[in-house]
Amino acid sequence: MFATDHLHAPNEVGPLYGSVPYIMGLSDKAATSFLWVNSAKTTVDIDRPEEVPADIGKKGAQVTFASEANVIEFFMFTSSA
């Protein structure tokens, strides 16, 4: 999950644009999403562990957001049926 471009102008080294990580989980009974807002370089790791903890059921994924700098700012949205 990587999206950036560089401005092709003399003496410009910063990116022209980037992306904002947004992830959503859906089930028959609920929907949850997470928006990570940080202007620093950020990595997002999505892992499906072989052994999922019992408290999240039989299926699941682990998502890790890591930013190099700035403050933590995120939004979480939930709904249930």
Question: How many angstroms separate the CA atoms of 75 and 22, rounded?
Answer: 9
- CB burial readout 46-74, b (16+ within 10 A) else e: eeeeeeeeeeeeeeeeeeeeebeeeeeee
CA-based nearest residue to 13, from 22, 21, 4: 4
User: Would you kindly state where each structural domain of the chain is located, as residue ranges?
Assistant: 21-80
Query: Which residues is 45 bridged to in the sheet?
Result: 64
pLDDT digit string (tens) for the chain, length 81 residues? 456 666 666 776 666 666 778 888 888 888 999 998 887 778 888 887 776 556 555 667 788 888 888 888 899 999 987
